[in-house]
A and B are shown apart, each in its own frame.
Chain A
Amino acid sequence: MQINALEKTLLAHKEKIQEIVSDTLQITFKNYFNIDIYKSGIYAGKNLKDGIFCETHIADPANEAVVLISFEKPFLQELAKMVYPPAEADKSASMESCAKEIANIVTARVKTYLNESGYDLKIGIPSIVNTTELSTEDVKVSFFIEQSRLYVDIGFNPAVAKKI
């Protein structure tokens, strides 16, 4: 399968993108949830069985890529409890809102880095997707927090073009 120019760019900047994602997650969890986490590197191979998946489109005038971020549902439930009143914290909409906001911040930081490197990317609105759609995504960002250690994994798949 062929990958487009934007996907090649993301692939070329993979290490830097991973660093940006890690830094952004650290500051987001500290500022929003008062959770201290520490970078621990890559944790590939974690099988996310109970997850919520959020995609955000980024595009330049010619190409488009999708950043897909996966979240463990129990973890999102804990985050939602910190922000929402008890009656709302366990609702799917609350957990999805947490996922979308974190995905928005992470993707915006990646976009900012690429734009400062000379690209002209625009960002879409994050949305929740079903796991059955995973085969069409370009950039997969998975992260896990275990015992205050942050593990970030980034993978790339060829994409099916979608419009913002």
Chain B
Amino acid sequence: MNPSDYKVLLVDDNTMTLNLMSNMLRAQGITKYETSMHGQDAMDKIKVRMELGNPYNIIFLDWNMPDISGYDVLIKCRQDPKNDKTAIVMLTAENQKRYVLEAIKAGATSYIVKPLSQDDLSKKMKQISEWIDTKVQG
């Protein structure tokens, strides 16, 4: 699958991060992205996409958000097998190993520690693309 075809959801309660991530995704050739600033809004968007049979390929989820955390959204998403082919990438400033393990155990595809650089995102995107290709072919 070509990255320019990816449908992406960016979830973060901070507009600066949303703008930075949007710029970085565009630099990766990814232009089909939507943004969300709340956990509940993100879950609503994911549900609508699922019902339309047009799920996101990648969801970038900020861990630390008010009300519904990114971790809670991850858990909810992974409870529905229809999201199995969606890569979920946790975004957080927490660089403790136990959080990485916790996220992977809960079904995260990958984990990005802020402040990420364009190069960090580029490397992660290669891994994520491989994961998506494996799922699509499978």
Chain A residues engaging chain B, CB cutoff 8 angstroms: 27-28, 30-32, 80, 83-84, 93-94, 97-98, 100-101, 104-105, 107-109, 111-112, 115-116, 123, 125
Question: Is B31 in the interface zone, CB < 8 Å from A?
Answer: no
Tell me if A30 and B117 are in contact (CB < 8 A).
yes
Total cross-chain contacts (CB, 8 A): 58
Which one, A83, A93, A107, A115, contacts B19 given CB within 8 A? A83
CB atoms of B95 and A125 under 8 A apart = no
Interface centre among A28, A97, A123 (most CB of B within 10 A): A97
Identify which of A28, A30, A84, A104 contacts B14 (C-beta below 8 A).
Answer: A104
B31: min CB distance to chain A, Å: 16
B20 lies within 8 A of A83 (CB) = yes
Complex CA distance for A100 and B65, rounded to whole angstroms: 12
**B14 contact set on A, CB distance < 8 A:** 97, 100-101, 104
CB 8 Å contact bits of B62-94 with A (1 = contact, 0 = none): 001110000000000000000000000000111
B96 touches A31 (CB 8 A): no
Residue of A30, A31, A97 touching B16 (CB-CB under 8 A):
A97
Closest to B97 in A: A116
Whole-angstrom CA separation of A94 from B17 in the bound complex: 11
Q: For residue B16, give the distance in angstroms from its CB to the closest CB of chain A.
A: 4
Residues from chain A with a CB closer than 8 A to the CB of B17 are: 101
Chain B CB within 10 Å — which of A84, A98, A108, A111 has the most?
A: A108
- Check B115–A116 contact: CB distance below 8 A: no
Nearest B-chain residue to A99, judged by Cβ: B16
Are A123's CB and B15's CB within 8 A? no
Tell me, in angstroms, the Cα distance from A104 to B91 when the chains sit together. Answer: 12
Q: How far is the CA of A17 from the CA of B117 in the complex (A)?
A: 23
Chain A residue, CB-CB nearest to B69: A125
Determine if A123 and B115 form an interchain contact, defined as CB atoms under 8 angstroms apart.
no
Taking a contact as CB atoms under 8 Å apart, the answer to whether B16 and A112 are in contact is no
Given known A-B contacts A93-B15, A109-B93, A109-B95, A32 and B65 have beta carbons under 8 A apart: no
B19→A84 contact, CB < 8 A: yes
B64 touches A31 (CB 8 A): no
Q: Any chain A CB within 8 A of the CB of B114? A: yes
Can you show 21 pairs from A to B with CB atoms below 8 A apart? A27-B115, A28-B115, A30-B117, A32-B115, A83-B20, A93-B15, A94-B15, A94-B16, A97-B15, A97-B16, A98-B16, A100-B14, A105-B93, A105-B115, A108-B64, A109-B93, A109-B95, A111-B94, A123-B64, A125-B13, A125-B64
